[in-house]
Structure 1
């Protein structure tokens, strides 16, 4: 099963995803996709680490999430936005290539058996990006979110800490 949780910054996506994962498993995997960019980002990563207890197994993978041995597990992928950022930077902002690579990873992952909870940002609801690169990334994120939402059985939109189920298809 794929469950996508989307929303704005600080909307409660990760907290809700963690609660959800723990409702499915006593030992879920937290798949962190963040790159350790700088000291400020290290603080953000540390805050997320402190939100989890000993029941969680931490795996870190910047791009190749489908290659991990995660069959029959509950996996929270946090987050698709940072995951896409890694593709975007490594491929010199080529959104066509990044979109193809991301879709390939998603397709391979959906062939596995398990529960996959994707955390992602709904960038298109925010302010218009000022730079051409920012607008390209917003497009990329929007297209990947649409692709994930189409594949997902459940999609939740987080609004001010409140989960709003916007797609519910049982398989």
Structure 2
């Protein structure tokens, strides 16, 4: 089962997604962390998320790019996977990690790369919950680069929603079921 959880910043989407994956049973849980700790603010957010899931029996796998190369054979079959969050993964794929000699992807290559990763996850796990940001309600005057990111994330969100069994928007901590049954 694939579930897409979408919401704005501070909406409660991460907490909701963690609760949802816990409700799916006692299987092996993998938390795919996509936020690279760029600065102190990122480090604080990562720490907050680690504290939120401290007693929830997740194996954490850091994956800033190249989702399609993750292999969970060492983690046991039919794992439950929480990808947190698509927005960071897309940014990392599109703009890179600031590493010398790294190949940056075009917008189309970014969409293809990320979706190949989602399909690969779907092949390996019984339940996948993907957390993503809703970035289209907060304004309309951005740099070319930011607009490009928003366009790519929007395409990926739509493609994931198409293959998802459930799509849930979280607003002020309240889940709104857009696709599937609750």
TM over 0.5: yes
State whether residues 79 and 124 of structure 2, in contact with CA within 8 Å, keep that contact through their aligned partners in structure 1: no
Structure 1 stretches (4+) deviating beyond 4 angstroms? none
For residue 135 of structure 1, give the secondary structure of its aligned residue in structure 2.
helix
State the partner residue of 1:44: 45
| 2:66–2:113 CA contact under 8 A, matched in 1 | no
Deviation at 1:25, TM superposition (A): 3.0
1:98 to partner: Cα distance: 0.8
1:12-161 → structure 2 map (5 Å cutoff): 12-26=12-26, 27-54=28-55, 55-66=57-68, 67-69=70-72, 71-90=77-96, 92=104, 94-161=106-173
Aligned twin of 2:100: none
Task: Give me the whole-angstrom Cα distance separating, in 1, the residues matched to 2:31 and 2:141.
Answer: 30
Q: Is the 8 A contact 1:93 1:133 kept in 2?
A: no
**Unaligned stretches of 5+ in structure 1?**
none
Q: TM-score, normalised by structure 2?
A: 0.86
Residues 18 and 129 (structure 1 numbering): CA distance in 2 closer, same or farther, change over 3 Å?
farther
* Structure 1 residues 169 and 104: alpha-carbon distance in aligned structure 2, compared to 1, 3 A threshold: farther
Using the size of structure 1 for normalisation, the TM-score is 0.92
What do residues 141-160 of structure 1 show as CA deviations (whole Å, max 9, x unaligned)?
00000000001000100111
Partners of 1:129 and 1:74 lie apart in 2 by 39
Query: Given that residues 21 and 117 in structure 1 are in contact (C-alpha distance below 8 angstroms), is that contact kept between their aligned partners in structure 2?
Result: yes
1:30–1:59 Cα contact (<8 Å) kept: yes
Cα deviation, residue 129, structure 1: 4.5
Please tell me whether the aligned partners of residues 81 and 125 of structure 2 are also in contact (alpha carbons under 8 angstroms).
no
